[in-house]
Structure 1
Amino acid sequence: MSSAVAPKKYKAIIFDWDGTLMNSEARIVDAIQMAARECGLEVLPYDVSKQIIGLSLENAILGLYPTLDQAMVVAMSEAYTQSFLEQSDVEMVPFDGAEVLLLNLKQSGLITAIATGKSRKGLNAVLEETGFGVYFDMTRTPVESASKPDPLMLQQILQEFDLDVCDAVMVGDTSFDMEMAQNIGMDRVALTHGVHQTEVLQAYEPVAVLHSLQELNNWLLAH
């Protein structure tokens, strides 16, 4: 007689996008710097510019340039979007193992979702470009929700699938991801290959700190 297999702990895996599944940090920073030049603003150093990756575009711009008025925020937003989607020639590719991970999760019957700071236009474009859209049951951006670390995106995903907080885990590479999940008591896994340093991520008490999508694949399939 075979022994019963214990059910997996999680029913849903919620991913951040930039810096978690997509190696897009350099492209984002390049677009921010291009937009700043176009708008006549100070071009901030790379390490400063990258710290706001993960926030909604408006919040990210105000994080870097807190004294801008609304008209300039709009101008920067438009310049950034054009730079990111059309002008920057910095390569942007999924991290190694991203598609294998997503395929394995889908074949395991798990719900998969995205909670990102990208705009809806930006996310739709990159999901189409990569072909990864087929792997996700739901996606949320600040356009139809709220910017991290507000947990509204996570709450919307849970509500859509009638899940409890304990049924899902948030996977991300920034303090914004970790804080968003912490704000509603959701388990969180930190990836160190993205934007924020390990010590910053550990402050939010993730259930695991992993260094690659291969490690994440093994950890998730065991949980």
Structure 2
Amino acid sequence: MQHKVAIFDWDGTLVDSVEHIAQSLHLAATDLGFPALEREAYRDIIGLGIVEALETLYPGITREEMRRIRDNYGRYFFAKTTTPQNVFAGMTEVLVDLKAAGRGCAVATGKSRRGLDAALQSSGLGEHFDLTRCADETRSKPDPAMLVEILDFYGIDAGDAVMIGDTRYDLEMARRIGMPSIGVEWGVHDRVVLGEYDPCAVVDTVAGLREVLGL
């Protein structure tokens, strides 16, 4: 695959942060008296914007309850800084080699702008991306709005880019606009779930990702 632009999800694709997010959500909600859920429930909504995630976890939640959980989640989540050691081994080199080959790199994430900006700096990955889009400045996955904005930035069609992600939301988002996608198995969803969304490939190693990307 020699697409002009590679668009990456963040959590669970580039950075090993899934368990920290799940634990932060669990603590933020149970502190306020919301019922504890199975860990898989917290993991399954990673990739959505925080509003959509909380509405899924706690149907019927009010705006005030959501605000309180969001504030509490921020305290837990930002207590830990994303470092270069949290980047999945080999992913920095993937970005470097894509750029060296003249291909664009972008991020489409369910994170907030505040969260992504902090992680871009502290992880050391920020310099590798031409553009990043977040759920709180456009629309949450699986709505493809952020992908459309990225395509407009580069002036390319959906078929000239590829979405790389670890969740069904990433791959469904790409499928809705006819963009090729690659699923990675080291994050939230497994090969069976990812395969339901017509990816070009599902890989379980960074070496496998490199091969599919033609690096």
TM-score by length of 1: 0.92
- Residue 170 of structure 1 aligns with an amino acid whose one-letter code is M
Q: Deviations over 1:180-208 (max 9, x none)?
A: 00000000101111101211110111001
- Residue 154 of structure 1 aligns with an amino acid whose one-letter code is L
| CA distance in 1: counterparts of 2:86 and 2:11, whole angstroms | 10
Q: Secondary structure at the match of 1:10?
A: coil
Once superposed, what is the RMSD of the aligned Cα atoms?
Answer: 1.6
Which residue is equivalent to 1:143? 136
Which residue is equivalent to 1:166? 159
* Structure 2 contact 50–110 (Cα < 8 Å) conserved: yes
Which residue is equivalent to 2:55? 62
Q: Deviations over 1:61-115 (max 9, x none)?
A: 11111121011111111111111012699xx711111111111111111100000
Q: Secondary structure at the match of 1:150?
A: coil
* Structure 1 contact 165–184 (Cα < 8 Å) conserved: yes
- Residue 52 of structure 1 aligns with an amino acid whose one-letter code is I
| CA distance in 2: counterparts of 1:88 and 1:124, whole angstroms | 12
Q: 1:175 aligned to 2:168?
A: yes
Q: Give the CA deviation at 1:218.
A: 2.4
Which residue is equivalent to 1:211? 204
Q: Give the CA deviation at 1:49.
A: 1.1
Size of the alignment, in residue pairs? 213
- Map 1:51-200; keep pairs closer than 5 Å: 51-86=44-79, 93-200=86-193
Q: 1:10 aligned to 2:3?
A: yes
* Structure 2 contact 5–103 (Cα < 8 Å) conserved: yes
| CA distance in 2: counterparts of 1:125 and 1:43, whole angstroms | 28
- Residue 135 of structure 1 aligns with an amino acid whose one-letter code is H
| CA distance in 2: counterparts of 1:203 and 1:143, whole angstroms | 27
| CA distance in 1: counterparts of 2:102 and 2:142, whole angstroms | 28
| CA distance in 2: counterparts of 1:60 and 1:149, whole angstroms | 12
* Structure 1 contact 14–170 (Cα < 8 Å) conserved: yes
Of structures 1 and 2, the larger Rg is shown by 1
| CA distance in 2: counterparts of 1:16 and 1:29, whole angstroms | 17
TM-score by length of 2: 0.95
Q: Give the CA deviation at 1:116.
A: 0.2
Percent identity of the aligned residues?
39
| CA distance in 1: counterparts of 2:30 and 2:2, whole angstroms | 48
- List 4+ stretches of structure 1 deviating above 4 A: none
- Residue 28 of structure 2 aligns with an amino acid whose one-letter code is A
| CA distance in 2: counterparts of 1:45 and 1:120, whole angstroms | 28
